[in-house]
């Protein structure tokens, strides 16, 4: 069944990838338009760093809470309905954000964006585990969760920057929000199929249908270590993503060069994802590959204070983010999906992404912003993130050791 239904890749994987592409445009449009937003809403000047941190990270606060709650409370709902409604809600909030004239209104719109996207995220793991076989999971997660995310970041800055400079930030918000309402929601209604038809979900869901959601169902102490690992990667990813347009500008790039250099780390992640996902599924060494990605990235970022040239700093950031992302991100979701009881996957995904991406991203957004305020440079913040992600790599290695010791998943027996 795993190889006889190619429509799963086009009928489930490709639409979800396209949806996440648009979702990340909605998340990052504010980073592109922040200077004009600050001017129009009245927080340019001395309050820029602190207020910008709040405006950028309020999304992640809602995202963190909604991932956890959404993952737990939607685990018995059909994921198709959940993704359609959540996409419609945040797309409307993005359009309304383009009409706002106050900081308070922008904060509310970004909070709604975070809540709706937080409910959405756990459903993608449910789709992946339900529609794809265990030996396909890294490739499936690369398509569903990885490519949409990183292609949007690689291409998004290049596409959104000229829109912003030509038409302004409000039109940019109208376009990104409108894509969801006009294109993604109708596509999901037509192409996505209910969970009851998923070939790998029915028997597993039935087995856990009446069982409570317990710590053991989530994977026990191995899950805690996974969450610690994901917390540090969430800090790395969002600490760089939220501030990269302004960071590259501080390194001497402006205009279209700023857009292209902002996209470089994410373009590297897209290119490296193909060989890394194939290597992971072929060798089954998902934990080892993901851990190496974190450790190498952390070591590279710790070198930033020793580099004086701006172009070399950008090269180090590009290699670090590209290698870590392609090695870690697709594999971590495969690891989770193979070590958590099938009916608890949505809840586990929500908890891990809520704490890791939402909580970690919020902390990192303020960390980089406040260190910039204190030092006048974004590099100290990026360096601290490098040290934290080394800790995350060690936590992931420990999680793999615990999983192997307990025999949670046969597919991870050679993961470290």
- Of all residues in the chain, what percent carry a pLDDT higher than 70? 94
Cα separation of 219 and 175, whole Å? 41
202 falls in which pLDDT band (50, 70, 90)? low
* Distance, C-alpha 105 to centroid of its chain: 25
In a domain, 241, yes or no: yes
pLDDT digits (tens, 9 = 90+) for 220-249: 899 999 999 999 999 999 898 878 888 888
Q: What is the pLDDT of residue 145?
A: 84
| Confidence at residue 219, expressed as pLDDT on a 0 to 100 scale | 85
CA dist 187 and 185 (Å) reads 5
For CA atoms 235, 239, 242, 244, give the dihedral sign: negative
% of the chain with per-residue pLDDT over 90: 44
How would residue 307 be classed by pLDDT, with cut points 50, 70 and 90?
A: very high
Write down the residue that tokens 């974004």 correspond to.
378
Listed in order, strand segments (DSSP E) in 172-273 are: none
Determine, yes or no, domain membership for 350: yes
pLDDT in tens, 65-96: 899 888 888 888 999 999 999 999 999 999 99
415 pLDDT above the threshold of 70: no
Q: Is residue 2 part of a domain?
A: no
Q: Which of 11, 378, 2, 60 is nearest to 200 (CA)?
A: 2
- Quick: pLDDT tens for 163-195: 999 999 999 999 999 999 999 999 999 999 998
Kindly state the DSSP code that residue 11 receives in the 8-state scheme. Answer: I
> Is 385 in contact with 304 (CB distance < 8 Å)?
no
For residue 1, tell me if it sits in a domain.
Answer: no
Res. 209 pLDDT band, cuts 50 70 90: low
Give domain status of residue 378, yes or no: yes
d(CA 193, CA 225): 34
pLDDT at position 257: 83
Tell me how far apart the alpha carbons of residues 226 and 165 are, in angstroms, rounded to a whole number.
Answer: 41
Judge contact between 326 and 276, C-beta under 8 A.
Answer: yes
Q: Which of 27, 29, 56, 37 is nearest to 366 (CA)?
A: 56
Q: Could you give the number of structural domains in the chain? A: 1
Calculate the CA 390 to chain-centre distance: 19
Q: Which of 195, 146, 187 shows the shortest CA–CA distance to 20?
A: 146
- Which pLDDT belongs to residue 2? 43
Residue of 246, 243, 266, 242 lying closest to 254 (CA atoms): 246
Of 195, 193, 239, residue with least CA distance to 364:
239
What's the alpha-carbon Rg for the chain, to the nearest Å? 20
Q: What is the CATH number of the domain that holds 11?
A: 1.20.1250.20
pTM: 0.80
pLDDT the model gives residue 294: 96
Our CA angle for 332, 363, 75, nearest 5°, is: 45
Structural tokens at position 78: 């059909």
| Rounded-to-integer distance, Cα 65 and Cα 35, Å | 28
Residue 323 forms part of a structural domain: yes
- Residue-level pLDDT at 174: 97
Q: What is the pLDDT of residues 112-137, one digit of tens each?
A: 999 999 999 999 989 998 898 888 88
| pLDDT at site 411 | 44
The domain containing residue 148 runs over which residues? 7-412
Q: Note the pLDDT of residue 256.
A: 77
Q: 3-state class of 272 per DSSP?
A: helix
Q: Is position 53 within any domain?
A: yes
Within 10 Å of residue 249's Cβ, how many Cβ atoms? 17
Alpha-carbon span 7 to 306, nearest angstrom:
50
Confidence of residue 357 (pLDDT cuts 50, 70, 90): confident
What average pLDDT does this structure show over 299-324? 93
Lowest mean pLDDT among 222-236, 265-279, 300-314, 391-405: 265-279
| Arithmetic mean of pLDDT over the chain | 87
pLDDT of residue 210: 56
| Residue 408 confidence (pLDDT) above 80 | no
């Amino acid at each position: 069944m795993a190889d006889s239904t190619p429509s799963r890749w086009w009928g489930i994987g490709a639409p979800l990838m396209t949806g996440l592409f648009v979702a990340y445009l909605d998340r990052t449009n504010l980073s592109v338009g922040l200077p004009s937003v600050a001017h129009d809403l009245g927080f340019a000047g001395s309050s820029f760093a602190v207020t910008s941190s709040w405006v950028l990270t309020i999304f992640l606060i809602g995202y963190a809470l909604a991932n956890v709650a959404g993952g737990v409370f939607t685990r018995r709902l059909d994921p198709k309905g959940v993704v359609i409604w959540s996409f419609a809600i945040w797309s409307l909030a993005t359009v309304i954000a383009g009409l706002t004239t106050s900081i308070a209104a922008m904060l509310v719109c970004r909070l709604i964006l975070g809540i709706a996207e937080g409910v959405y995220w756990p459903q993608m793991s449910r789709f992946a585990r339900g529609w794809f076989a265990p030996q396909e999971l890294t490739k499936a997660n690369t398509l569903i969760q990885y490519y949409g995310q990183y292609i949007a970041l690689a291409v998004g800055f290049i596409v959104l920057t000229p829109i912003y400079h030509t038409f302004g930030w409000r039109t940019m918000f109208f376009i990104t929000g409108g894509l969801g309402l006009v294109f993604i929601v109708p596509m999901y209604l037509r192409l996505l199929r209910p969970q009851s038809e998923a070939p790998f979900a029915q028997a597993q869901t039935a087995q856990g249908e009446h069982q409570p959601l317990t710590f053991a169902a989530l994977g026990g102490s191995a899950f805690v270590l996974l969450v610690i690992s994901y917390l540090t990667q969430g800090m790395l990813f969002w600490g760089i993503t939220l501030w990269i347009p302004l960071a590259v500008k501080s390194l001497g790039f402006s205009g279209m060069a700023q857009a292209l250099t902002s996209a470089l780390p994410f373009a590297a992640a897209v290119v490296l994802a193909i060989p890394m996902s194939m290597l992971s599924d072929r060798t089954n060494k998902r934990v080892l590959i993901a851990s190496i990605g974190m450790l190498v990235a952390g070591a590279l970022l710790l070198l930033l204070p020793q580099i004086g040239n701006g172009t070399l700093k950008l090269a180090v950031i590009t290699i670090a983010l590209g290698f870590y992302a392609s090695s870690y991100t697709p594999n971590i979701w495969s690891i989770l999906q193979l070590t958590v009881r099938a009916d608890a996957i949505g809840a586990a995904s929500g908890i891990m992404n809520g704490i890791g991406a939402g909580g970690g991203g919020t902390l990192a957004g303020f960390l980089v912003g406040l260190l910039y305020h204190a030092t006048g440079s974004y590099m100290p913040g990026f360096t601290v993130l490098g040290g934290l992600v080394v800790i995350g790599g060690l936590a992931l290695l420990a999680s793999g050791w615990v999983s192997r010791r307990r025999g949670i998943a046969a597919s991870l027996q050679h993961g470290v």
